Amino acid sequence: TEDGYQWYYEGRNGWWQYDERTSQDIEEAYKKGEKSCTILVAGYVYVVDFEAMLQQRQNDPSRRRHVKRDLASIPKKGVAGLRIE
């Protein structure tokens, strides 16, 4: 986002940045003070819960990952599953 923050979801040993469009959608909901928002990832609906700071697949909540909002400059694995070389 323009203030230098991005949204991340948990990987096995590090953080993945959300794709730019999804990160913007999450940021918009977060700034509005909403408790959660839904996103579409590869055909699946996920709920991003800002109180628990978790992402969960809507039809399978056992598929959960921590999420965080942090600076765009932090070390990361990549963006939406595309690894940084």
Nearer to ligand V3L, 12 or 31 (CB): 12
Least spacing, CB of residue 10 vs ligand V3L, in Å? 8
Backbone angles phi, psi at 20, to 5 degrees: -55, -45
Contacting residues toward ligand V3L, per CB under 6 A: 9, 11-12, 16, 18, 41, 57, 63, 65, 77, 80-81
In the bound state, the residue with its beta carbon closest to ligand V3L is 11
Contact call for residues 26 and 7 (beta carbons, < 8 A): yes
Number of Cβ within 10 Å of residue 69's Cβ equals 15
Least spacing, CB of residue 16 vs ligand V3L, in Å? 5
Least spacing, CB of residue 7 vs ligand V3L, in Å? 9
**Residue 83: what residue type?**
R
CA 72, CA 6: separation in Å to the nearest integer? 5
